[in-house]
Amino acid sequence: MSAKIELKHLSSDTKSDWIKTNAVSIECDDVYDEISIELKECGTINTIYLDKSTAIRFAKTLRTEINKIKS
């Protein structure tokens, strides 16, 4: 299972400029029982690995923070 999405995030250099990451891949690895999130930007690949319980906590925290956004 794999998902590809676009992601906007703040620049780590300026903390005010938005950067668009075009290639974000999220995959579930049944062998290692983990979820990997791969971010590709300017030729650099960063991968985050989450076990199931951490992924659940991350998703809950993300939803909580999304609900705080007033738009």
Residue 1 confidence class, pLDDT cut points 50, 70, 90 = low
Comparing 18 with 60, the larger pLDDT belongs to: 60
Mean pLDDT confidence for 11-38: 78
Residue 37 has pLDDT above 80, yes or no: yes
Residue 29 near residue 36 (C-beta atoms within 8 A):
yes
Query: What integer pLDDT is reported at residue 22 of this predicted model?
Result: 65
Segment 38-50 shows an average pLDDT of 83
Residue 71 confidence class, pLDDT cut points 50, 70, 90: low
For residue 34, the cross-strand partners are 29, 51
What is the three-state SS of 2-51? EEEEEEEEECCCCCCCEEEEEEEEEEEECCCCEEEEEEEECCEEEEEEEE
Q: Is the pTM of this model over 0.75?
A: no
Tell me which H or E stretch contains 67.
helix 52-68
